[in-house]
Chains A and B, each alone.
Chain A
C-alpha cells in the first residue's frame, strides 16, 4: 500500500515537473520609458531606439560599452577615401520568412530622411552618403561626398527594416504591427498603448537563441511603482532604479542589483561669448562686463566644484566625476585629462587675477525633471560657487520650459546633460564646443557659444580623416583644448542601476538600454 502511494506520488511529481518544463517561459520587464512609436526611424529617442532592438537588427551592433560589433553586416572596410564596403550576413530571414538582402539596406537608408512629421529624425546619420551601390545580394558599397571616418558608427545608430513589408508604410502601420517585421530576436505580438508590449521569440533567429518564449515590456514611469512591481514579483527586471531605493533593495533577499556607468554626462555651459550676459551682475546688482568671457573665471568655477562630494552625497554614489565629455576608455578620449580637483583656494586666486576679488552675482539655471537629482545638483553647485565669492542664485524649471529658453540663450550659467549615441567623442565636440555655425551644422547645443578656431579646425580635419589613429589623435587634441580652456565644465557621468529577481543577471550598458540578449538567465 505504502509503495503504491509512493509510486503514485512520484508519478504525480514527474508530471508536475514535466508540466513546468513544458510551460511557456515569460520574461516581464518594467521599464521607465514607453516608446512613442515602433517605427524605428520616426523619433530618435532612447526609449524608441532600445525597443527597436527587440524586433529589428542593426547593420553594426554596439556592445555594452558601445564598441562596434558585427550585426547584419559581418564585416566592413573602406575601399577608398570615400567608399565603404559592407559584407552582409547570409541566410538571415525576416519574421515573415522573407530573406534579408542588400535591397533592404538600401531601402532603409533611403527611407530615413523621408519619414513624414518626424520630430527628431535619423537623417544626420545618413546625409553624408551620396550613392548606394548594390554589388550583389550580400555586398553593398556606400560612397560619401567627403571622406567619412564615422560612417560605421553612424550606421550603428539605427535598425534595418524590411523592404517587402515596409514599402509605403506609415508610422501608424509600424505601431499596429503591420510593418513592424524585422530580423530581430523577437517578433511583435501586440502593443497595448500605455500598458504593455508583448513579444514572442523568433525561433529562426540567426543569432543566439534566448531562453524566453515570450517577453512582456511594461512601461512604468513612476519610480516608486516600478520598484514596488519588482518587489511584489509582478516584473522580473526593472531599469533606472532610483538612487534613494538602492539601500533597501540591496537588503532584499530575492532581489539583486547591478550597476553600470553611463555615457550621460552632466555639465555646465557658461556664456563665454557676449559682453552683456543676461543673469550676471555686480555685487550691488549693477551691470558689469560678462566675467565668463575670461577663461580664468571659468577655470575658477570648475575648481570650486567638489565633484566627489556631489557624487557621494547628492547622487548616493551613483555618479563618476567627469574629466571630459565621454568616460575614460572610449574612442577619442584623452588619458591626460583628469577630473578637475576641488581647490577653493586656487579658485579664489584665479578670480582675483581676473579682477574679481569680491566676486559677482550670477544665476544658475537648470531643469528639475530631466536628469537624476538635477535641481539638487544645481543647489549644491550654487553653494560651492558662493563659497569662493560668486554669489549664486538657483532657478530651476520643468524641462518643457527650460530647454526652449536655454536654446534662446536666456541664461548665463546652465546645468545640462549630454549622452553620446555614437559612443565616441566627436559628436560631443561638434555639438557642444565647436563654434556655432548653422550653415555647416556645428554647435547645435553650444548654448554658451564657446568658440575656439584651433579646436574648430582640428575637429573639422578629424571628421574627414579616415585613418583611425590619426582621426582619434585629432579628436583627443581638440578635446584637450576645449576642456583646458573650460569651454564646458564637466561634473559627472551618471551611473545606472538595474534591479532584478535572483536567478537573472544583467551587466548593464553605458547607453542605459535593457536588451534581452544581454540578460543572463539561470544560476
Chain B
C-alpha cells in the first residue's frame, strides 16, 4: 500500500509539471491580456507600464521559471484582473462548486442507483421501460437547455424556486454553505437537479446493466435455491457486486462534475469556480487559468486514488501493490 502511494504521488508530480508547462505555453500563445484589460484610449506609454507591472515584458521561459519558483513556495501568482492571489480566489469559490457537485452526486446515487436496480429487476414492465426512457432523455438533452427550461418552469411560470444566485449562507467550520438554511436550499435545488440529470441517467444505466447481468449468475441461483428472500439477494449480494463498476465510473465522473459544472454555474449565476475560470479565460487572466487547471488535475489525481482504495475495500481480490 505504501509503495503504491509513493509511486502514485511521484507520478502525479510529473503530471502536474507537464500540465503546468502545456498550459503556460498555451495561454502565452493565445495573446496578450493587456490588449483586453487596458482602456482603449490608454497611451502607448501607459500600455508599456501595464505590461511591465504585470511582468509580461519578460521572455516566456523567464516567466515560466518565476512561476515555478513561486509555485514551489505555494504561490501560484496574482490574478491580473483582481490583483489577489489566484489560489485564494479559487479557494473562495470552491465551497460553492463543491456543494453543488456533492448535492448533484448524492442525487445521482440515491435516485439513480435504486431506479436503475428497479429497472433491472422489472425490465419487462411499464415501469422499467419508463425509467429507461427517462435516462435516455437525461443523456441526450443538452445541460444548458434543460437548465433554462427548469428556470422557465419552476421560477418564471410557477414561481416556486429562485432563478439563480446562491441565497443565504451560514458558516460551517469556517466554510460558507447554503444547505443549512431554507433560503439556501431553495437556491440549491434547481442547479443541483440540472447538474445531476446526466449523472443520474448514467447511474440508472450502470446499475440496470449490473443487476441484469448478476441475476443470471450462478451465485444468485444458488442463493435462491438456498431459499434466501429476494430482498436479501438483491439488497445485499447483487448490490455489493454491482457497486464496483458503478463506484469506479461515478468516482471518475465526480471529478468531471466539479471541473465542468461551469455550464450550470453560468446559467444559474452560481458563484462557483467554473464561472470564475470562464470569466478568466475571457480576459486571459493567466495566473487564474493556470492555477485552476493545476487544482483540477490535482483533484482528479486524488479522486482516482480514492476510487482505487475503495475498490480494494469492496473487492478484496484487488491488491493495490500489484498494479504495475
Query: What is the interface of chain A, defined by CB distance below 8 A to chain B?
Result: 34, 36-37, 39, 42-45, 116-121, 123-124, 171-172, 175, 192-196, 218-222, 224-225, 228-229, 231-234, 369, 398-401, 403-407, 418, 420-421, 427-428, 430-431, 438, 441-442, 444-445
Pairwise interchain contact B40-A196, C-beta atoms closer than 8 A: no
- With known contacts A120-B50, A444-B43, A36–B271 Cβ distance under 8 A: no
Pairwise interchain contact B31-A444, C-beta atoms closer than 8 A: no
Select which of A37, A194, A431 is within 8 A of B271 by beta carbon.
A194
Pairwise interchain contact A119-B38, C-beta atoms closer than 8 A: yes
Contacts of B193 in A (CB 8 A): none
Contacts of A441 in B (CB 8 A): 43-46
- With known contacts A36-B82, A117-B83, A403-B31, A218–B159 Cβ distance under 8 A: no
- With known contacts A194-B271, A220-B269, A232–B38 Cβ distance under 8 A: no
Contacts of B199 in A (CB 8 A): none
Pairwise interchain contact A431-B40, C-beta atoms closer than 8 A: yes
Contacts of B41 in A (CB 8 A): 124, 420-421, 427-428, 430-431, 444-445
Query: What are 11 A-B pairs with beta-carbon distances under 8 A?
Result: A42-B83, A44-B39, A117-B78, A193-B92, A193-B271, A225-B267, A225-B268, A232-B162, A400-B283, A401-B30, A445-B41
Pairwise interchain contact A196-B43, C-beta atoms closer than 8 A: no
Select which of B37, B152, B164 is within 8 A of A119 by beta carbon.
B37
Q: A369 to B279, alpha carbons, bound, how many Å?
A: 12
Given contacts A225-B268, A400-B283, 9 further A-B contacts (CB under 8 A): A39-B83, A117-B83, A121-B49, A218-B269, A222-B266, A229-B164, A400-B281, A428-B41, A444-B44
Interface presence of B65 (CB below 8 A): no
Interface presence of B244 (CB below 8 A): no
- With known contacts A117-B78, A124-B42, A228–B155 Cβ distance under 8 A: yes
Pairwise interchain contact B30-A120, C-beta atoms closer than 8 A: no
**CB of B158, distance to nearest CB on chain A (Å):** 9
Contacts of B139 in A (CB 8 A): none
- With known contacts A220-B164, A231-B156, A121–B37 Cβ distance under 8 A: no
Contacts of B207 in A (CB 8 A): none
Pairwise interchain contact B163-A232, C-beta atoms closer than 8 A: yes
Pairwise interchain contact B44-A438, C-beta atoms closer than 8 A: yes
**Which residue of A is nearest B169, CB measured?**
A192
Pairwise interchain contact A195-B165, C-beta atoms closer than 8 A: yes
Contacts of A398 in B (CB 8 A): 282
Pairwise interchain contact A225-B282, C-beta atoms closer than 8 A: no
Interface presence of B302 (CB below 8 A): no
- With known contacts A172-B84, A232-B156, A221–B35 Cβ distance under 8 A: no
Select which of B164, B275, B282 is within 8 A of A400 by beta carbon.
B282
Q: A194 to B165, alpha carbons, bound, how many Å?
A: 9
Pairwise interchain contact A192-B271, C-beta atoms closer than 8 A: yes
Residue-wise, chain B 162-191 has the 8 Å CB interface mask toward A (1 for contact) of 111110010000000000000000000000
**CB of B279, distance to nearest CB on chain A (Å):** 7
Contacts of A399 in B (CB 8 A): 36, 282
Q: A425 to B152, alpha carbons, bound, how many Å?
A: 44
**CB of A95, distance to nearest CB on chain B (Å):** 23
Contacts of B47 in A (CB 8 A): 444
**CB of A63, distance to nearest CB on chain B (Å):** 21
Interface presence of B138 (CB below 8 A): no
Q: A119 to B82, alpha carbons, bound, how many Å?
A: 9
